Structure 1
Amino acid sequence: MNITFLVNRDLASNFALNLILPTMQHHNLTVFLSDKVGNSSDHSGHSTLLADMESKVILPLLESNRKLTGKRSRFLGFNQLQCYAQQPLATLNDINQTSGLAKLTCNTPDLIISIRFGKILQPDVIKVPRFGVINLHSGLLPQYRGVMATFWAMLNGEKEIGTTLHTIDDSGIDTGQVIAQSRIPVQRQKSYLWHVLQLYLSAPKLLQNYLQALEKNIPMEKRVQSGQAGYYSFPKQEHCTQFLQQGLTLFDTAEISAMLEHYYRKTFTAQEALWLRSRQ
């Protein structure tokens, strides 16, 4: 099967791909990246610091892991992940335009899987794959549509968070039919970023179940979303302040250092650790 992934160029997407792609090597895989979700003006001061930490410290470290270790590590940066794909990973910010649609269709995808992709897909894109488009959303639907669902769930005092695998049927945001969900308990002593990464541990199983059903021509039961729907955008500064006042954290240096052990055995240098601490 020809499967195209649409993901964002961020840490959680990279983490998810490292878990998912090795389980799909019998398929023909293509990966396209968006550079960001939303506009820079959408981010508050604290969420900008989190984005800067990812883009300026962690992602460069992931791309350099082969050079630092001298051998292939368990987890790979974006550039190295192309070893699982049929062609080099490419940026596709113009997916809804004629030029971007041409890049997408030349791979004749049977299925498109979206994970944190930064663009809202329009009908011309959605109708390309014969098995449609599915999205792995890092929030429980319909209560937590939109961006940074985990942040909002933690701020709202939820006892658990989760992911939702759902169809993308139109240009509505996170409104498609629910295929499956997974849930984990909130651990308030852990950071927002830690929770986001934990959510993707269930991703390979959710996707494997769906693909196996497709391959066996067994329709998986889908359900229309029900219950009170909520839509969330990027938090403003006052929301980030409330988050911190509750004793919650956006990221934690020790957690990040432990996470990097998935990529290589390396603790932060004193300079890197100081940079992170100064922004917490």
Structure 2
Amino acid sequence: MMSTKKIVILAGPGESTDILFHALDAEFGVHRIILETPVSQQQLLKRRTEKLGYAKVAGQILFKLLIAGPLAKTSGKRLQAIKQQANLNDRPLPEDRVMRVPSVNSPECIAQLQALKPDVVVVNGTRIIAKKVLTSVPCKFLNTHAGITPLYRGVHGGYWALANNDAAHCGVSVHLVDAGIDTGGIIAQALISPTPEDNFVTYPLLQLAAGLPLLKQAIRDVLRGEVKLQPAPAGISRLWSHPTLTEYLANRRAGTR
């Protein structure tokens, strides 16, 4: 049933945004998609090096080149099977509903949000959103995070849970967005059960498939004004990054692909 409320997606470009849009549009009708221009690779590497150091970033680059790239090519059948099983639509976004901004934190983005007057904003794959943006419109911002927060914040939460022999926290979270990194109030969480066919590049798609029903219910609750937050799971909150080649190979030997 289509909603009369305005649902706006605030996202970076990519397949997960395409899938997210079509899932929500079929259920509610998405009013507009605001797409930001991604941070350049050069700028991304510079920031990452400042935070993690040259050795760590060099190891991450080697992992991407020697492992993640080839894995993506050999995992095509499995990725397609997940899409078919979960009925995920990855067609491109309809250009007539796309609005482009240089950054989610730009004055242009704030102006677009204020002009659209959304009832809920769904975030996907953007840079960290500044408080000035989150407070620019009087509605909630929701995000689907590929990890169980706050234990696995950052990136590749499913992979790192498995690498830590922590399958009990290998999953996905839907949460409110605040100015931190995956630190907003938890609305819902679900676990995934990877098969022997799955690996580093298929885990995120499994997480997205598991998270979409949670996100849809969270949107319904937000529109009805009935959002209830869950207590955070016990454990240490940690921000995770991309694995280095050495880390991946060590985890691979231990059984995590």
TM-score by length of 1: 0.68
Q: 1:3 to 1:247 in 2, by over 3 A?
A: same
Distance 2:175 2:98 in 1: 24
Check whether the contact 2:142–2:176 (CA below 8 A) recurs between aligned residues: yes
Match for residue 20 of structure 2?
16
TM-fit CA distance, 1:13:
3.4
Question: Which amino acid is the alignment partner of residue 77 of structure 1?
Answer: R
SS class of match (1:39):
helix
Check whether the contact 1:19–1:204 (CA below 8 A) recurs between aligned residues: yes
1:222 aligns with 2:234: no
Check whether the contact 1:165–1:178 (CA below 8 A) recurs between aligned residues: yes
Q: 1:31 to 1:101 in 2, by over 3 A?
A: closer
SS class of match (1:240):
helix
Distance 2:28 2:113 in 1: 19
Question: Which amino acid is the alignment partner of residue 223 of structure 1?
Answer: Q
Q: Aligned match of 1:95 in 80, 104, 120?
A: 104
Q: Give the helix-richer structure, 1 or 2.
A: 2
Q: 1:104 to 1:237 in 2, by over 3 A?
A: farther
TM-fit CA distance, 1:224:
4.8
SS class of match (2:138):
coil
Q: 1:3 to 1:144 in 2, by over 3 A?
A: same
Check whether the contact 1:144–1:231 (CA below 8 A) recurs between aligned residues: yes
Match for residue 30 of structure 1?
33
Q: 1:102 to 1:35 in 2, by over 3 A?
A: same
Q: 1:53 to 1:100 in 2, by over 3 A?
A: farther
Match for residue 260 of structure 1?
none
Match for residue 271 of structure 1?
none
Q: 1:188 to 1:156 in 2, by over 3 A?
A: farther
Distance 2:120 2:204 in 1: 25
TM-fit CA distance, 1:91:
4.0
Match for residue 237 of structure 1?
245
Unaligned runs of 5+ residues in structure 2 are 49-59, 77-87
Q: Aligned match of 1:115 in 121, 124, 132?
A: 124
Q: Deviations over 1:69-114 (max 9, x none)?
A: xxxxx83433xx227xxx4424434221323322333322221111
Matches within 5 A, 1:39-50: 39-40=44-45, 42=48, 43-48=60-65, 50=68
TM-fit CA distance, 1:3:
1.7
Q: 1:51 to 1:76 in 2, by over 3 A?
A: same
Question: Which amino acid is the alignment partner of residue 153 of structure 2?
Answer: R
Distance 1:151 1:202 in 2: 15
Distance 1:19 1:177 in 2: 23
Check whether the contact 2:188–2:230 (CA below 8 A) recurs between aligned residues: no
Question: Which amino acid is the alignment partner of residue 182 of structure 2?
Answer: D
Q: Aligned match of 1:82 in 94, 106, 116?
A: 94
Check whether the contact 1:140–1:181 (CA below 8 A) recurs between aligned residues: yes
Q: Deviations over 1:132-174 (max 9, x none)?
A: 21111110011101112122122212225211111113x2111
Check whether the contact 2:9–2:33 (CA below 8 A) recurs between aligned residues: yes
Q: 1:177 to 1:23 in 2, by over 3 A?
A: same
Match for residue 136 of structure 2?
128
Distance 2:223 2:70 in 1: 41
Match for residue 207 of structure 1?
215
Distance 1:10 1:241 in 2: 27
Aligned Cα RMSD in Å?
A: 3.1
Q: 1:91 to 1:130 in 2, by over 3 A?
A: same
Q: Aligned match of 1:167 in 167, 170, 176?
A: 176
Q: How many residues align?
A: 224
Unaligned runs of 5+ residues in structure 1 are 59-73, 250-280
Match for residue 278 of structure 1?
none
TM-score by length of 2: 0.73
Match for residue 65 of structure 1?
none
